[in-house]
Amino acid sequence: MTVRRFLILAPTVVIAFLLQSYFWVPTYEEQTRGNPRRLNEYITASIGDASILNPILSSDTASSDIESMVFEGLIDRDEDLRFRGRLATSWNVYEEAYFYVNENANIPGVGRAGGQEVVNLLQRARVGDLPVSSETKTSFDNIEEITVIPAREFSVTRGEKEDKDEELTMVTIRVQVPSRLKFVLKRVDQDLFKNLLIVLGKDYFSSFRGEDHLSIDHDEWQWKKAEYAKEILPATEHNPVVVFHLRQGVRFHDGHLFDANDVKFTFEAIMNPKNLSPRIADYEPVKQVDVVDPLTVRIVYKRLYSPALGTWGMGVLPEHLLNDETMKKEALRLGKDPEEFSMRQSSFGRHPIGCGPFVFREWKSDQYIFLERFEDYWDGAPNYERYTCRIVPDLLTQEMEFYAGTVDSYSVQPHQVQRLREDPKYQSFSGLSFGYTYIGYNMRREPFNDSRVRRALGMAIDVKKIIDYVLYGQGERITGPFVKQTAHYNQRIEPLPYDPEGALRLLEHAGWTRNQDGWLEKNGKKLQFTLITNHGNDLRKAVLAIAQDAWKKIGIYVRTDVLEWSVFIQERVDKTDFDAIVLGWRMGIEPDLYQIWHSSQTNPHQLNFVGFKDQKADDLIIKTRQEYDYDKQVEYCHQLHEIIAREQPYTFLYAGKWTAVLDKRIVIKDMDARGNPIYKKISPTKTGNFTFYFNNWIKLPEMPTFSAEG
């Protein structure tokens, strides 16, 4: 009954105010009659304001939606999910692989051998003079070149201290590097070294002792020699390489030409610790970025990294506006210390300049963000002249303004889906979200550091009722962190049962028992915490109320709070200052969960803000990142799903079914060979992305006659 009561009362409380706001909003017809330019302006609404308009710094949807209009990446995916060029016209992926010659190893039938002898042996295997398995032959056929890198000597210095209060001791490590073999491969081969063992012997790489080639100038640090060797002289090394060939003549919105230096600069800005970029995890595997020439950039990876190509969809920053010299001038102008000044403090985040289809013009906090089309956009200027994102925190207000024609799209609420699908004035699009809603627990704090408590909290909530009565059936249960429509999601895992009595038994095992007032307590301390979410999302507010009520019934005292979006993100989530939160993730199709779930990503401004740490999970995340075999990748993801489902750092709730509606007068406009307009209906891609052709959209005064193709 609590669910039904909430749903009935919540809209009633605000309806009087909303009706007032509806009547003063001009209708679409009034706008176009008095201002025909309205046909050339697309207006959308967001429940929350952007936080910062810099693609390497933002981590919220409101910001990224605007950034996708202003900035451009090297690549993205087409309507069939294949990679396509944007700022890059083409690219090629290959590998450079290395191993140190192990002169102490006994090679079968050969014995000990130097670098050139090993090369000769491998060349014989390449041409078929030695019997090898079919897998090894595949690896040999992939080799384009084998060369010997001669032995050499060098020194490196490391700062060490035995405890945090001591001063650093500078340790010099002298390295006598043995000869090394370099392989240039036509494509990445993660099984190369395993297959080479057929020829070299099963212990060739494992018996290589890098520490024998090191000497250390401080006796007290001799114990770290093996650790240093693992870092400095790894027996084998995979170095995937991506070479991007860039589009000529592309300009940023200020007229400055885009080139390879901007790509390298964007990478360096992400990796600069001063900037606190949440994207570091995606680019940490990069070993180096080389500018070959103004239109060619070469990216070398430290190790196998299967999501590598997709990360270069990141919006590219203008180096000339954010380089060290420019940032220093801005810091001095603002009276700040140039050594401490970072991109997060720069005015660029409020006045971005990219080379995407729209130019930033104005941002009035909590009111609107206004863009204009870029007439010199390399792929042709968009049909719409202007793009405005209005901040409308209340969904009912958004709905009223959509009906009035003062915003052009509306994300339909679950209870409206059936009615609006059948309305002849609108075109609708729907699908299962690439994402999910969850309750996240701050595992740094008690009682959430106990998995029994987290599991019990989930078991106390009737998620089926949330889907039935809050979502009106427009959602599906989920059990873990992968996109449900992909093979990486483990369908074998059962959802947590709705079992309040079982939850109480779990809590009792964890030491929590009811006191005389009916509240759970342990060692005299009541089980209580605060659950928060963001303003403007009625579904999350409903979950907030339902969870609070469910937990109250089993004796847990929960306060709730609803915060304005920017405060919620910047002050609570980014700073990990919360007990529990209701939030959601919008996911991509790649199964790389490093940023959200790896234990290294638990610091402020990183995305593992619940503080989940599990060594087995870390290992599986790394294995998934380095796995190029799809079936093995799926297997690792299923194992990771099992661990996260067992540990319950989140109570996984549902993947929502989304429906969006547009006026039927919004169409795709193209031109035929004679320059005459052709109008086509908007259709979604395989993932349900109906805005894929947004640059070709336009709104017409009347419904058009569609072409045969449309």
Which stretch of DSSP H or E encloses residue 253? none
Number of domains the chain contains: 3
Residues 33-42: contacts with CB within 8 Å, 24+ apart?
A: 37/385, 37/386, 39/698, 39/699, 39/700, 39/701, 40/383, 40/384, 40/385, 40/386, 40/698, 40/699, 41/384, 41/385, 41/386, 41/387, 41/388, 42/384, 42/386, 42/387, 42/388, 42/408, 42/697, 42/699
Question: Do 648 and 673 fall within a single domain?
Answer: no
What is d(CA 115, CA 402) in angstroms, rounded to the nearest whole number?
72
Question: Do 687 and 634 fall within a single domain?
Answer: no
In a domain, 686, yes or no: yes
Task: Take residue 51 and report the two structure tokens written for it.
Answer: 């936080």
Of the three residues 616, 640, 658, the one that is the final residue of a domain is 658
Per DSSP, the three-state class of 462 is coil
Question: Do 557 and 644 fall within a single domain?
Answer: yes
Question: Do 576 and 688 fall within a single domain?
Answer: no
N-term to C-term CA, the chain: 48
Question: Do 600 and 669 fall within a single domain?
Answer: no
Confidence band (pLDDT; 50, 70, 90) for 429? confident
Taking alpha carbons only, the member of 496, 459, 457, 431 closest to residue 655 is: 431
In a domain, 404, yes or no: no
What is d(CA 207, CA 235) in angstroms, rounded to the nearest whole number?
9
What is the pTM for the complete model shown? 0.80
Q: Among 35-39, 210-214, 275-279, name the one with the lowest average pLDDT.
A: 35-39
Question: Do 703 and 610 fall within a single domain?
Answer: no
b/e burial code for range 620-639 (CB count within 10 A of at least 16 → b) = bbbbbbbbeeeeebbbbbbb
Task: Take residue 232 and report the two structure tokens written for it.
Answer: 């400095």
Which tens digit of pLDDT belongs to each residue from 364-419? 999 999 999 999 999 999 999 999 999 998 888 998 999 888 999 888 877 787 78
Of the three residues 214, 240, 266, the one that is the final residue of a domain is 240
Q: What's residue 35's pLDDT?
A: 59
Which tens digit of pLDDT belongs to each residue from 435-491? 899 999 999 999 999 999 999 999 999 999 999 999 989 899 999 999 998 899 999
Confidence band (pLDDT; 50, 70, 90) for 38? confident
Taking alpha carbons only, the member of 464, 479, 441 closest to residue 612 is: 441
Q: Which residues pair with 542 in a beta bridge?
A: none
Question: Do 589 and 690 fall within a single domain?
Answer: no
E strands, 230-273, are 236-246
Question: Do 98 and 215 fall within a single domain?
Answer: yes
What is d(CA 647, CA 455) in angstroms, rounded to the nearest whole number?
8
Q: Among 87-91, 549-553, 684-688, name the one with the lowest average pLDDT.
A: 684-688
Domain range for 148 is 93-240
In a domain, 523, yes or no: yes
Judge whether residue 19 has pLDDT over 60. no
Confidence band (pLDDT; 50, 70, 90) for 3? very low
Task: Take residue 459 and report the two structure tokens written for it.
Answer: 């078991």
What is d(CA 188, CA 73) in angstroms, rounded to the nearest whole number?
23
E strands, 482-543, are 513-514, 520-522, 525-526, 528-534
CA distances to 44, 386, 701 from 427, in Å: 16, 22, 16
Averaged pLDDT score across all residues of the chain: 90
In a domain, 158, yes or no: yes
Question: Do 508 and 534 fall within a single domain?
Answer: yes
In a domain, 410, yes or no: no
Contact 371, 386 (CB under 8 A): yes
Which tens digit of pLDDT belongs to each residue from 604-654? 989 999 999 999 999 999 999 999 888 999 999 999 999 999 999 999 999
CA distances to 64, 253, 499, 597, 670 from 694, in Å: 16, 19, 46, 33, 12
414 φ, ψ (degrees, to nearest 5): -50, -40
- Gyration radius (Cα) of the chain, Å: 29
Which tens digit of pLDDT belongs to each residue from 256-291? 999 999 999 999 999 999 999 999 989 999 999 999
Judge whether residue 252 has pLDDT over 90. yes
Tell me the average pLDDT across 502-515.
96
Higher pLDDT, 110 or 36: 110
239 φ, ψ (degrees, to nearest 5): -130, 80
Taking alpha carbons only, the member of 94, 145, 70, 146 closest to residue 317 is: 70
Q: Among 20-24, 40-44, 79-83, 637-641, name the one with the lowest average pLDDT.
A: 20-24
Contact 646, 496 (CB under 8 A): no
Of the three residues 639, 658, 677, the one that is the final residue of a domain is 658
> Could you write out the DSSP letters of every residue in 639-666?
HHHHHHHHH-SEEEEEEEEEEEEEETTE
In a domain, 254, yes or no: no
Q: What's residue 128's pLDDT?
A: 85
Question: Do 106 and 224 fall within a single domain?
Answer: yes
Question: Do 693 and 628 fall within a single domain?
Answer: no
In a domain, 101, yes or no: yes
Question: Do 222 and 109 fall within a single domain?
Answer: yes
Confidence band (pLDDT; 50, 70, 90) for 25? very low
E strands, 101-194, are 143-149, 152-160, 169-177, 180-185
Which tens digit of pLDDT belongs to each residue from 652-707? 999 998 888 898 899 999 888 888 889 999 988 877 788 999 999 999 988 777 65
Which tens digit of pLDDT belongs to each residue from 319-338? 999 999 999 999 999 999 99
Q: CB count, 10 Å around CB of 172?
A: 12
Q: What's residue 707's pLDDT?
A: 56
In a domain, 106, yes or no: yes
Q: What's residue 12's pLDDT?
A: 29
What is d(CA 505, CA 620) in angstroms, rounded to the nearest whole number?
32
447 upstream amide cis, omega within 30 of 0? yes
